[in-house]
Chains A and B, each alone.
With several copies, the nearest count.
Chain A
Amino acid sequence: MTAPVDVEAGARRVTTAKAISEAIAQEMRANPEVFVMGEDVGPYGGIFGSTGGLFEEFGATRVIDTPISETGFIGAGIGAAVEGMRPVVELMFVDFLGVCFDQIYNHMAKIHYESGGNVKVPMVLMMAVGGGYSDAAQHSQCLWATFAHMPGMKVVAPSNPYDAKGLMASAIKDDNPVIFMFHKGVMGLPWMAKNPRSIGAVPEEEYTVPIGKAAIPHPGTDVTVVSVSMSVQHCLDVAEKLEGTTSVEVIDLRSIVPLDREAILASVAKTGRLVIVDEDYRSFGLSGEIVATIADKDPSMLKVPVQRVAYPDIPVPYARVLEYEALPTRDKIEAAIAAAMKG
C-alpha cells in the first residue's frame, strides 16, 4: 500500500476525467494497437469526459463512435483483443451491463481460462458508476460486486485523479480484461456538484498505479474504514473532521479484484474496529466479502460488530430526498464510526 505520491504545491491540478483521457492518450501514442470504442466517445469526448480530446488527436479510425449495440461492440473489442490489439471500450453507464453481460462475463472474462492460457484478452472496459444526482434506478448503480463475483476480470475504481491516471495506464498495459469504473462524482465534471478531491495534482509524465494494491490515504489507529471510489472522498472528509477525537484509518481499495485482503487484515488487526462504506448494494457484495475475509482468518480480531454503510437493498429512487436517504453520506459514515467506537 502506498499513499498517493506527494506532489509539491503548485503542481498541475486536473480533473479525474482529464487524468483518464490523458492516460489513454499516452498509451495510444506509445502503442498503435491501442484504440477506443464506444458510444459518444468521438467528437463528444465521452458523456463523462473520459475520452476528451482523443478524437481530435487520433481521428476516427482509433476513436470509434459506435451504434447503440453494446453486445456488438464489446464483442468486437474482444475479437480485436484476441488478435492482439488493446481496445479501450466504453460502456456508458454500468447500469447497461444487462444488454451485453454475456460478452463480458462469458467471453471477455473466460476466454483466457477456457483456452488454457493460450488466448489473451488485453482489453479495458470502462464505465461510469454511481448516483447522487437523481438519475434513478437505471442510471445510478455501482455494481462492482457483480463483476467481482465473476472470475476472470480485474476490477478497479479510483477515487481521485492521480490514481485514475495511474490505474488506467496499468489497465491498458495489463494482459487481462480490466473493468475500469469511474464514479461520475469523482470525474470533476463542470456540470455536477463535486468534492474538491475530484480535482488534484497529477504528473504530466506517464506512471502507473498497481492494480490490486489498496492505498491508505489517511492512516489511523482507532478504527478501520474501508471504502472505494466516490465514497472514499466522504470517508476522508469525515476522517479529517474527526482528527483529534478519533483516529480513523481510511483504506481506499482502488481495486476490487484483486482485493487487497492483506491491507484490510493488517489494519483491522491493529484497530479491531471495522466500518465498510460501499455505494454498491449491501447484500451479497463487497461489504460481505470484506467481513468474511476477516472471519476466514480470525473473527476475534473484531472487537465490536461491523458497521456496513452500504446502499440498502432497494432500487435507486429518483427523488432527491429518497436517494439521499439511501446513499452512504458523511453523516452516516460518522455515525457508523461513532457506533464502532462505542460498541
Chain B
Amino acid sequence: MVDNDMRVDFYKEMVRIRTYEAALQRDYHADKAPAWDIGAGLIPGEMHLSAGQEPVAVGLCANLEQGDAITGPHRPHHLALAKGVDMKAMTAEIFGRDTGLSHGKGGHMHLFDPSQHFSCSGIIAQGMPVAVGQALAFSRRGTANVAVAVAGEGAANQGGFHEALNLASMWKLPVIFIIEDNDWAISVNRETATPIKDGSLRASAYGMPSARIEGNDVDAIYDACRTAVERARAGGGPTLLEIHTVRLWGHFEGDAQAYRGDELAAATENDPIPLYEKRLLAAGLLTEDSIGSIKAQAEEEVEAAIAYAKASPEPKPSDAYLHVFA
C-alpha cells in the first residue's frame, strides 16, 4: 500500500516529468518562427508530449527495478524519466546531439537505454511483442524481472496487441500490459474506434487477469501495478491494466485540437498534478514551501539537462553511416 513518503515521491516525480515536458514544449516552439516549420529549430520533427499521463508512469515505475524492462510508445518521455533513463542523455538525444542516448540517431520516438532496459517505438502496438520477448528472456534465465509494454487505447485495436497478449498468457510470462486510455488517438475518439467501454475486458480473451483503473490517480495506479508486478515476479503470468488518463495537450505539438470541443476544457480541469497537490496539501504532506522547492528542484534539473543538450556537439555528418551493422 502507498504510504505518505511514497506519496511525496510520487508528487515529486510527476512534477519533474511535467516540468520536463513543459520545457521541451517551450524549446520546441521557440525557434520554429516565423512560419511554423516542423523541421526547424533546436528540436525538429514530431513531438508527442505526455502532460496528464504522469500518474501512469509514476505509479507504474515505482514498482519497477533497473533490471525490469519497458517498451514504450510514440509518447514515451514520462515513462523513460520515471524508469530512470538519464535525463541529460535523453535530452541530448531529443536535441539531436552526439551525447544523446543514440548519438542523435533515434530522436524522441526512439529512445533506447539498455542499462534501464528501456526502449520505445513509433509504430503503434509494435512494442508489445518485444516486451513479451524480453519477459521470455527473463524467465529463461530465471531472474525475477518483469517486462512492461505500454500502449495507448488506440493501440489496443491493433493486431499486435492481440498476438502479444495471447503469447504472454500462453507462455505465462512476466509481462504487464498497460493501456493508457487518454480517450483519443490523434483526432479519433475512443468511442469511434472501440466498441466496448472497459478495455480491460479484453484480457478474458486470453485468460488473463486485468483491471481498469479510473480516476488517473497515481495511488490507485501504483496499487494496481503492484498487484500485477508481484504476480509476474512470482511466476503468475501476465496482467492487462487499462488506465484511464488524460491527454492535456495536443496529440503532437502543433495540433490545434479543433476536434476536441468542450471535452478539452473538462480535461484541463482534470489535470492530475494540481489535484494530487491539493490532496497532499490537505493531508499535510506538502506545504506551499515544500511545493515551491520541489518545483524549483525540478526546474533546475530540467534546465541543466537542456543546457547540457544545447552545449553538446552535433554528430559528425559522416556518422550517419555508422551503426547500420554491429
For A10, the chain B residues whose CB sits under 8 A away are none
Q: Are the CB atoms of A65 and B133 closer together than 8 Å?
A: no
Which listed segment binds A: B37-45, B223-231, B240-248, B275-283? B37-45
Q: A72-B163, A72-B164, A136-B107 are in contact. Are A80 and B188 (CB under 8 A)?
A: no
Q: Footprint of B on A, CB under 8 Å?
A: 35, 39-40, 42-44, 47, 61, 65-85, 87, 95-96, 98-99, 102-103, 106-107, 111-120, 122, 132-139, 151-152, 154, 175-176, 190-193, 312-315, 317-326
Q: Judge if B254 is at the interface, Cβ distance under 8 Å.
A: yes
How close is B129's CB to chain A, nearest CB, in angstroms?
A: 2
Cα A314 to Cα B97 with chains together (Å): 19
For A191, the chain B residues whose CB sits under 8 A away are 36-38, 254
Q: Footprint of A on B, CB under 8 Å?
A: 35-40, 44-46, 69, 71, 93, 96-97, 100-110, 112, 114, 117, 119, 121-126, 128-138, 140, 147, 154-155, 157-160, 162-164, 166-167, 170, 185-188, 192-194, 254, 258-259, 314-326
Cα A220 to Cα B117 with chains together (Å): 53
Query: Could you say which of A99, A114, A116, A122 contacts B158, with CB atoms under 8 Å apart?
Result: A99
Can you sample 23 A-B contacts with CB below 8 Å? A43-B258, A66-B188, A67-B163, A68-B124, A68-B155, A68-B157, A70-B163, A75-B163, A79-B129, A82-B130, A95-B123, A106-B123, A111-B112, A115-B105, A115-B119, A135-B46, A314-B320, A314-B324, A315-B105, A318-B96, A319-B315, A322-B317, A322-B320
For A39, the chain B residues whose CB sits under 8 A away are 185-186, 188
Q: Are the CB atoms of A115 and B188 closer together than 8 Å?
A: no
Q: Are the CB atoms of A112 and B315 closer together than 8 Å?
A: no
Cα A42 to Cα B187 with chains together (Å): 9
Cα A40 to Cα B322 with chains together (Å): 36
Q: A79-B137, A82-B133 are in contact. Are A317 and B105 (CB under 8 A)?
A: yes
How close is B68's CB to chain A, nearest CB, in angstroms?
A: 12
Q: Are the CB atoms of B112 and A79 closer together than 8 Å?
A: no
How close is B264's CB to chain A, nearest CB, in angstroms?
A: 14
Q: A75-B164, A320-B44 are in contact. Are A120 and B326 (CB under 8 A)?
A: yes
For the complex of A and B, list the 3 residue pairs with the smallest distance between their C-beta atoms, beginning with the closest: A79-B133, A75-B129, A133-B39
How close is A195's CB to chain B, nearest CB, in angstroms?
A: 13
Q: Are the CB atoms of B326 and A78 closer together than 8 Å?
A: no
Q: Are the CB atoms of B45 and A318 closer together than 8 Å?
A: yes
For B317, the chain A residues whose CB sits under 8 A away are 321-322, 324-325
Q: A40-B187, A67-B188, A117-B326 are in contact. Are A139 and B167 (CB under 8 A)?
A: no
For A320, the chain B residues whose CB sits under 8 A away are 39, 44, 96
Q: Are the CB atoms of B258 and A40 closer together than 8 Å?
A: no
Cα A186 to Cα B321 with chains together (Å): 27
Q: Which residue on chain A has the smallest CB distance to residue B43? A: A134
